């Protein structure tokens, strides 16, 4: 039975949530396997906009189970805020949301560490530009083990003592970390009371999700894995150190969820029709100019979580080819194609020149990537609105040619194109096995 994976192939914000939402009706379980409240998904359906961060987009479909696995780092007030927001809008979570007892919990000390680290490193231009959601510090404690607290630990009798001990360690650490950046010492008793309250509210959702997913597979349930961030932010395979602290590429699915790789049999790679990046780190095709501003305005390229303006540039096929191979991608979905509609010509980066040498492989070292000069191929634009189109064959000839060319240079076929935020503004190629039944009839018509 299928385990379908939706993976962002760039630096995040590829609009994966929209594709997950569309594919949900063909699956029984939607699984979030990495990252935390650093991610933001926007799903527009029936004229309603939902902004989700930790909860999988599958929650909008009542017949589907949404599972947050142990690879995720969980900020209790964030997820409770999301649950409350959904319930207020009539979306039920009580029966269809499950959170792993193995998930590591974000505490106020993680947020403070993230903030202090960024404040200190930004003084010498070395900041990663994190979302300051405590992601890196929480994963660091997970790997370090001694000061880590998992969701299941919130229900143990020694919770208060553990919080007091970690808070004392962190209070001793902060002055060293802060340098001359002001910080607030932790009040352990306040944290104990807060987290006991969160634990009580989260209890109905907490479960052994690994066991649940393995059983689901044995019962032929169809699983949909929802990636967070993009593969270029993968801690092992991305543009280190300008990455997030989890395996955000396809390689993280098994470790994050406990589902063996042999069940992951279809991978959809999500790319924007151009490139964006938030935070620091090299971005070879960046356009820090009027074109970049045009893409930002037209694509509303401002972070869902932090509202930071995103850096914008041309489509980088060297990077996407690398991440498509890394994540075992079968087909591509090109998002925000309509953002390019006004441009007379469009560039695709097909190679880099690094220190006078032309390369088509993605460099493993960030210093080499910093030196990379993009080699562009220029294709004509279509200069007509496409937001109202629903059939592949109705797309302008130059738009089809652009999608085909992206598929050629990345090495995977483009079978889905998104021309606007709504579910309905999604065009499936007739070869695409994922076209929803309603849309498939349109294709065949």
Q: Which of residues 2-31 bind ligand IMP (CB under 6 A)?
A: 11-13
CB of residue 92 to ligand IMP, shortest distance in Å: 26
Q: Which of 13, 21, 316, 338 is catalytic?
A: 13
Q: What is the DSSP letter of 260?
A: -
> How far apart are CB 157 and ligand IMP at their closest, in Å?
33
Q: In angstroms, what is the minimal distance from the CB of 118 to ligand IMP?
A: 9
Binding-site string for ligand IMP from residue 173 to residue 212, where x marks contact by CB under 6 A and - marks none: ----------------------------------------
Interaction with ligand IMP in 131-170: which residues (CB under 6 A)?
131, 133, 135-136
Long-range CB pairs of 362-369 (<8 Å, 24+ gap) are 362/318, 362/319, 362/321, 362/322, 362/323, 366/239, 366/240, 366/241, 366/242, 366/281, 366/282, 369/239, 369/282, 369/284
> Among residues 244 and 247, whose Cβ is nearest to ligand IMP?
244
Q: Which is nearer to ligand IMP, 39 or 216 (CB)?
A: 39
DSSP code, position 151: G
Token pair in block for residue 247: 């395996």
> How many chain residues bind ligand IMP (CB under 6 A)?
20
Whether the bond into 424 is cis, omega within 30 of 0: no
Residue 13 among the catalytic residues:
yes
For residue 39, the SS3 value is: coil
- Measured in whole angstroms, the distance separating CA 315 from the mean position of its chain's CA atoms is 18
| Length of the chain counted residue by residue | 445
Interface with ligand IMP, residue 38, by CB under 6 A = yes
Of the residues 244, 257, 415, 418, which one makes contact with ligand IMP according to CB under 6 A:
244
Is 432 a binding residue for ligand IMP by CB under 6 A? The answer is no
Which DSSP string corresponds to 328-372?
T--EEEEE-GGGGTT-SEEEEEEEEEETTEEE-SPPSSHHHHHHP
User: Would residue 41 show up in a list of annotated catalytic residues for this protein?
Assistant: yes
Least Å from the CB of residue 396 to ligand IMP: 30
The interface with ligand IMP within residues 97-136 (CB under 6 A) comprises: 128-131, 133, 135-136
350 contributes a contact to ligand IMP by CB under 6 A = no
Residue numbers at the binding site for ligand IMP (CB under 6 A): 11-13, 38-40, 128-131, 133, 135-136, 229, 233, 242, 244-245, 278-279
**Which residues are known catalytic residues?**
13, 41
């Amino acid at each position: 039975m299928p385990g379908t994976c939706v993976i962002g192939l760039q630096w995040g914000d590829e609009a994966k949530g929209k594709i997950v939402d569309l594919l949900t009706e063909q699956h029984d379980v939607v699984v979030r396997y990495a990252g935390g409240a650093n991610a933001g998904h926007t799903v527009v359906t029936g004229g309603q906009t939902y902004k989700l961060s930790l909860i999988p987009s599958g929650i909008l479909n009542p017949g589907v189970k949404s599972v947050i696995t142990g690879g995720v780092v969980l900020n209790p007030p964030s997820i409770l805020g999301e649950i409350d927001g959904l319930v207020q809008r009539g979306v039920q979570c009580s029966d269809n949301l499950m959170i792993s007892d193995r998930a590591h919990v974000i505490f106020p000390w993680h947020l403070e560490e993230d903030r202090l680290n960024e404040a200190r490193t930004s003084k010498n231009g070395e900041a990663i530009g994190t979302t300051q959601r405590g992601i890196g510090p929480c994963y660091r404690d997970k790997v370090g083990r001694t000061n880590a607290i998992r969701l299941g630990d919130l229900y143990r009798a020694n919770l208060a003592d553990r919080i007091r001990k970690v808070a004392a360690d962190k209070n001793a650490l902060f002055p060293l970390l802060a340098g001359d950046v002001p910080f607030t010492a932790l009040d352990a008793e306040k944290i104990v009371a807060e987290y006991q309250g969160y634990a009580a509210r989260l209890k109905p959702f907490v479960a052994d999700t690994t066991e649940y997913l393995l059983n689901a597979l044995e019962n032929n349930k169809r699983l949909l894995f929802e990636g967070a961030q993009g593969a270029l932010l993968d801690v092992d395979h991305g543009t280190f150190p300008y990455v997030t602290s989890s395996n955000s590429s396809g390689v993280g699915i098994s470790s994050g969820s406990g589902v063996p790789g042999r069940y992951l049999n279809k991978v959809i790679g999500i790319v924007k029709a151009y490139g964006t990046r938030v935070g620091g780190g090299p971005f070879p095709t960046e356009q820090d100019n009027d074109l970049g501003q045009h893409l930002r305005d037209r694509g509303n390229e401002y972070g869902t979580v932090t509202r930071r303006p995103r850096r914008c540039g041309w489509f980088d096929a060297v990077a996407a080819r690398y991440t498509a191979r890394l994540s075992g991608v079968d087909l591509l979905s090109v998002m925000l194609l309509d953002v390019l509609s006004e441009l007379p010509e469009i560039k695709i980066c097909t190679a880099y020149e690094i220190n006078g040498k032309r390369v088509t492989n993605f460099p493993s070292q960030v210093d080499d990537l910093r030196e990379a000069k993009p080699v562009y191929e220029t294709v004509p634009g279509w200069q007509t609105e496409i937001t109202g189109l629903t059939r592949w064959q109705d797309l302008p000839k130059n738009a089809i040619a652009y999608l085909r060319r992206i598929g050629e240079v990345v090495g995977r076929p483009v079978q889905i194109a998104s021309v606007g935020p709504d579910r309905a503004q999604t065009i499936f190629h007739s070869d695409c096995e994922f076209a929803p039944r309603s849309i498939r009839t349109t294709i065949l018509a």
